[in-house]
C-alpha cells in the first residue's frame, strides 16, 4: 500500500450522503490537528452555478492545495463519467484516476477518497469505483441512505468488497432529507428506525447511524456543514 493512511468511502448508490460524511470526517480530523487530503477521482454533473462535491471537500479540509488536486477530472452532463466525458469528446484518464490519488502520498497525514455513485459505478470505460479502491489498497467505509432497501444494498456492497479482498472498516447509515421516494404518506421513513438492528444480524462490521436530521425544505444535506 503506497498511501500510508486513508479511507475510501464507497456508496451503495448515488446521492446517499458520501460527500456529507467525507466532509464531516475531514473537518473532524483537521480540528484534531491532522493534515488531511481529500480526493474525488472524477465528477460529472458539475454546474458552475452550484458548489461541487470537490469544493465541499476542499473547504472541509482547509483548502491546503489547489482545488484541481481534489478533483482533476470534471464533466458537465449529469451522467456516468465515461458517458459525460464522451459528450464532450473526451475520455476519462484512468492513469490519472490512480496517480492523482497517489500524489497525496507524503503530503498528508490521512487521505479521504470519495467514490462516485455506487461501488460498481463506472469511473471510466473499464474501471469502477471499487476497482480504484483496490488499486489504491485503501480500507473502505460503506455509506448508505438510511431508507427502505438499505439492508439489501449494504449487504450486496459488502459482498462485492470482500470478493476483491478489501477490508470494510465500517458502515454509515446516513439520514437524508425526507423526499417522496423515502417517506410514506405521513412524511415518515419507518425503515430508518429498524435498518441498523436488522443489518447487524447479517454482518459483524461496525455500523454508525448518522442522526443528522435536517429541517424539511432543506434540500442540500451539505448545507448543514
- Is the pLDDT confidence value at 217 over 80? no
| The CATH number of the domain covering residues in 6-224 | 3.40.50.300
Cell 425503515 belongs to 191
Does 115 belong to an annotated binding site? Answer: yes
Report H helices in 66-222. 67-70, 81-87, 94-102, 129-136, 150-163, 195-200
Annotated binding-site residue? 17: yes
pTM recorded for the entire structure: 0.87
- Please write the tens of the pLDDT for every residue from 185-214: 445 677 888 999 999 999 999 999 885 443
Position 219 scores a pLDDT of: 40
174 annotated to a ligand binding site:
yes
117 is in an annotated binding site: yes
pLDDT, tens only, 161-191: 999 999 999 999 998 766 544 444 445 677 8
SS3 66: coil
Positive or negative, the CA dihedral 49, 54, 60, 61 is negative
Mean pLDDT of the chain: 88
Q: Where are the domains of the chain?
A: 6-224
Residue 18 assigned to a binding site? yes
- Across the range 99-124, mean pLDDT stands at 95
Residue 209: which of 116, 144, 141, 117 has the closest Cα?
144
Buried b (16+ CB within 10 A) or exposed e, 98-116: bebbebbeeebebbbbbbb
Please indicate if the annotation marks 15 as binding a ligand. yes
Q: Which residues are catalytic?
A: 40
Residues whose CB falls within 8 Å of the CB of residue 68, separated by 6 or more in sequence, listed in order: none
Amino acid at each position: 500500500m503506497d498511501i500510508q493512511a486513508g479511507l475510501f468511502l464507497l456508496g451503495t448508490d448515488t446521492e446517499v450522503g458520501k460527500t456529507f460524511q467525507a466532509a464531516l470526517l475531514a473537518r473532524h480530523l483537521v480540528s484534531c490537528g491532522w493534515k488531511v487530503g481529500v480526493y474525488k477521482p472524477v465528477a460529472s454533473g458539475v454546474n458552475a452555478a452550484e458548489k461541487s462535491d470537490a469544493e465541499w471537500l476542499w473547504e472541509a479540509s482547509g483548502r491546503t492545495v489547489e482545488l484541481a488536486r481534489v478533483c482533476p477530472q470534471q464533466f458537465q452532463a449529469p451522467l456516468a463519467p465515461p458517458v459525460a466525458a464522451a459528450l464532450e469528446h473526451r475520455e476519462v484518464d484512468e492513469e490519472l484516476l490512480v496517480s492523482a490519488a497517489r500524489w497525496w502520498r507524503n503530503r498528508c497525514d490521512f487521505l479521504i477518497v470519495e467514490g462516485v455513485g455506487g461501488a460498481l459505478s463506472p469511473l471510466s470505460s473499464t474501471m469502477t469505483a471499487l476497482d480504484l479502491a483496490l488499486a489504491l489498497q485503501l480500507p473502505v467505509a460503506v455509506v448508505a441512505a438510511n431508507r427502505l432497501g438499505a439492508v439489501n444494498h449494504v449487504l450486496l456492497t459488502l459482498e462485492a468488497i470482500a470478493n476483491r479482498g478489501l477490508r470494510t472498516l465500517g458502515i454509515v447509515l446516513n439520514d437524508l432529507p425526507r423526499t417522496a421516494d423515502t417517506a410514506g404518506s405521513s412524511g415518515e421513513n419507518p425503515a430508518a428506525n429498524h435498518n441498523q438492528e436488522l443489518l447487524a444480524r447479517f454482518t459483524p462490521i461496525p455500523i454508525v447511524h448518522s442522526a443528522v436530521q435536517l429541517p424539511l425544505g432543506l434540500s442540500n444535506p451539505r448545507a448543514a456543514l
